[in-house]
Amino acid sequence: MIALPILAIMLPIVGATYGVIGVIVLIIGLQATSIIYECTSKEESGLNFRKVLGSIWKAMKANYFIAMVLGLILSFLGFQFPSVLGASLNAVGITTAPVALFAIGAQLNFTLFRNHIRIVSECTFFKLFLMPVLAWFVCDLVKLPPAPAVAVILCSAVPTAKCQYAVARSHDVYVEETESIVAGTTILSMITLTIVIALVAAEFPAIVI
């Protein structure tokens, strides 16, 4: 979700829109992952309609999914908050990512990196190095226009989403690994994301501030 403010700064006209689309795709992906996990992790074998519906209902009750749906409804209806309330909500929204990082950092035990060094290294390489390269290659291959290309590349270059940790904890699966991956990619992205932003700005100087 850190891609949203970055895109809003780099692409003043359409950046926020692409950032919101990226957040929606992320949330849908998380929900799909949760549903698949719920459907396949039960003790009883096989899938049935009731089991699938139960998994979908549980995923739909996630806080971030409800927030996304409410936001889309209000946006579709053209609802505008009063200026004072809107400013307050914006201030709260800005703190979301830092607070999430603080919560992870407060619980982080650096021995987790040693215990899960292989999976953290593999996921970090894939997320911060391989994904941006592949995204750039695909954008160039399909001749994507500059603005959406910048959005795709930057969204692929940001660290692992903080809400992944919330999903892992809610299902009590790979909690330590996810915690380590989120923290590790976030720390290293201070270097890798800076490089990607510089390369994107050099490649698309006409649209990037």
Alpha helices per DSSP H over 15-110 = 15-40, 49-60, 63-76, 83-94, 96-107
Query: pLDDT per residue over 63-111, tens digit each?
Result: 777 877 887 788 788 888 888 887 887 777 667 666 766 766 666 666 7
Structural contact between residues 188 and 166, judged by C-beta atoms closer than 8 angstroms: no
When pLDDT is cut at 50, 70 and 90, the band that residue 199 belongs to is very high
Cβ-based neighbours of 173, under 8 Å, separated by 6 or more: 37, 41
Q: What is the pLDDT of residue 134?
A: 95
Query: pLDDT per residue over 31-61, tens digit each?
Result: 787 777 777 765 555 556 676 677 777 777 7
Query: pLDDT per residue over 114-146, tens digit each?
Result: 788 888 889 899 999 999 999 999 999 999 898
Cβ-based neighbours of 120, under 8 Å, separated by 6 or more: 113, 177, 180, 181, 184
pTM value? 0.73
Cβ-based neighbours of 28, under 8 Å, separated by 6 or more: none
Q: What are phi and psi of 144, to 5 degrees?
A: -70, 140
Tell me the C-alpha distance between 16 and 3, whole Å. Answer: 9
